Amino acid sequence: MLQRAQAARSQGCPHEVIRVLSSDAPVVEDSLRTEPSLELDRLVLLGIAYHDIGRPLEAADALERASLIGPIADEARIALASSYAELRRIDLARELYLQLALSRRLSSELMLQVAAGLAAIDAPQLAMQVCEWITENDDGVAQAYYDMGVYSASSGNQLYLTEALTRRALELDSANVHYRIGLVSLLIQLRREDEALAALDETTLEQIQAIECSPCLARIAALLSRHRKTRLARACVRRLADLEAAEADRAVALNGGRWR
């Protein structure tokens, strides 16, 4: 059972994980009596799967039950903190995120998730601190610099700090279109349009299709239109329309397939 669930998880199929782990209740009861560690593993897999499909109540329930059996992995604790945040149990989310961050033993990838979680509960200054700890441990993590710049802006700091951090991220990963678009969007906000256009010089139509930031696309489309760069401007507008349509589809799905 657990092997099938783990295989489904590795294939990115959380619904299948839930189906497998929920269909063997008699087996689970027998395992719990003889092997509590198996029940812990089952609950962790189940909790993470529920978290992945946006069902925080079930995720938190499964992960809390797992933690009563024994210690759960850091990834599961992050999923639990995220579920608390979605349930508006903000104090619990913040406490768990800080416990994870203060241990200073997580991988850079998991620390970035903790920082994002703190930012999501309106604690961008704490998120900045977590990113700073990442760079203290490894100054080559480009994402940590980029995210720190985003959180700095959210904290109300001067945008020159965000610019410096974004440029540092680009120095480390010059091919990253998301960092480049972030810099362009920032330069537009700073009214440095010539520099923004220069930063866009190497951007291709294919890269535009990878952009996920709707406000960035709107700013860049307006800039390109003002400077009569219609081909890229139209690509930005099309991508923006695609993102808006996808967001509308998600809203319908979350509302049980009905328009509000």
Exposed (0-12), middle (13-18) or buried (19+): which is 121, by Cβ within 10 Å? buried
pLDDT category of residue 256 using cuts at 50, 70 and 90: low
In the block, tokens 């994870």 appear at 100
pLDDT category of residue 121 using cuts at 50, 70 and 90: very high
Pick the range with the lowest mean pLDDT from 2-16, 26-40, 84-98, 110-124. Answer: 26-40
For residue 177, which amino acid is it?
V
Pick the range with the lowest mean pLDDT from 78-82, 92-96, 219-223. Answer: 219-223
Position 99 pLDDT exceeds 80: yes
Range of the domain at 199: 185-260
Position 75 pLDDT exceeds 80: yes
Residue 21 lies in a domain: no
Which are the contacts of 258, defined by CB distance < 8 A and separation ≥ 6? 252
* Residue 81: per-residue pLDDT: 97
Pick the range with the lowest mean pLDDT from 52-61, 79-88, 154-163, 246-255. Answer: 246-255
CA 70: distance to chain centroid?
Answer: 27
Q: Nearest-CA neighbor of 44 among 75, 83, 10?
A: 75
Token pair, residue 84, equals: 């608390």
> d(Cα 49, Cα 36) in Å, to the nearest integer?
20
Residue 129 lies in a domain: no
Residue 76 lies in a domain: no
Output the average pLDDT for the chain: 88
Q: What is the pLDDT of residues 175-226, one digit of tens each?
A: 898 999 999 999 999 999 999 999 888 788 888 888 888 888 999 999 989 9
Token pair, residue 133, equals: 């700890």
Residue 236 lies in a domain: yes
* Residue 24: per-residue pLDDT: 55
Which are the contacts of 82, defined by CB distance < 8 A and separation ≥ 6? 51, 56, 93, 117, 120
* Residue 179: per-residue pLDDT: 93
Question: Span 100-115, mean pLDDT?
Answer: 94
Residue 260 lies in a domain: yes
Residue 153 lies in a domain: no
Question: Span 101-122, mean pLDDT?
Answer: 95
Number of domains in the chain: 1
In the block, tokens 């091919």 appear at 175
Position 22 pLDDT exceeds 50: yes
Question: Span 47-76, mean pLDDT?
Answer: 94
Residue 69 lies in a domain: no
Residue 189 lies in a domain: yes
Residue 147: C-alpha distances to residues 10, 133, 158, 174 (Å): 27, 13, 15, 16
pTM: 0.83
* Residue 97: per-residue pLDDT: 97
Residue 218: C-alpha distances to residues 152, 170, 225, 237, 252 (Å): 22, 22, 11, 7, 24
pLDDT category of residue 238 using cuts at 50, 70 and 90: very high
* Residue 260: per-residue pLDDT: 47
